[in-house]
Amino acid sequence: MVAIGYCRVSTEGQAEDGVSLDAQRAKLEAWAALNDEPELLVFVDAGLSGSSMAQRPGLKDALDAACKKKAVLVVFSLSRLARSTKDTLAISDRLSKAGAELVSLSERIDTTSASGKMIFRLLAVLNEFERDQVSERTMSAMAHMRKTGRRISRFAPYGWDFDAAGELLVVNRAEQRVLQRMRKFRSEGMTLRQIAAALNERGVPTKQGGEGGWSPKVVRSLLLRPPNK
């Protein structure tokens, strides 16, 4: 009987855990040999995030093959399979309805048993909970850095510059005056397009120093930003 393997890496994923495609494939092949699987077909998504199932052709092909052959789909970890509980459970349900199964090596999940199915569902929820916590901590840290005027990106926001050390934000008074003028134009009833045109006509440079680069989209983003941010 054939087994189906699936591997995925993205730039972000490789940086975080260092689990390369070769390392994942080696684990899948070791599992196949240990379980006397005569054939292992491995599908790969390289350089793709796990945020959208629809954008991962390797996963689609792996699922199609596993369902068609009523085979076991083997992955290195649930994080390689999907990034949300909804998608993970949807994959499990599809495999189950087709008479196929799922094995995740890192979590030691094997849905051929009732206990394996239960553990799988619990871990899927816990994995999403952990990702949500990381996201919350990241957002909180960035908010604190922004509040204290510390650097959080490669470029300083319009109206600000970096200090000599490149760590703290300092006021760019010329750009702050432009922001004030933009708010005044808006309060007088000018449209975003009219404001952009007025800035271009006056030769007001953008953050990158170029003239004629103002657009309604850029104006809107700056007007939506709270004052002094």
- Torsion, Cα 117 5 95 82, to 10 degrees, reads 70
DSSP 8-state assignment for residue 36:
T
CA 92 distance to own-chain centroid: 22
Among 78, 96, 98, residue whose Cα is nearest residue 88: 78
Active site residue 10: yes
User: For the chain, how many residues are written?
Assistant: 229
The residue annotated as part of the active site, out of 10, 20, 49, 215, is 10
**C-beta separation of 97 from 126 below 8 A:** no
User: Cα(14)–Cα(209) distance, rounded to whole angstroms?
Assistant: 36
DSSP 8-state assignment for residue 202:
T
Sign of CA dihedral 79, 85, 86, 89: positive
How many other β-carbons are positioned within 10 Å of the β-carbon of residue 141? 11
Instruction: Count CA atoms closer than 13 A to 228's CA, side-chain side.
Output: 3
User: Cα(87)–Cα(81) distance, rounded to whole angstroms?
Assistant: 9
Catalytic sites, residue numbers: 10
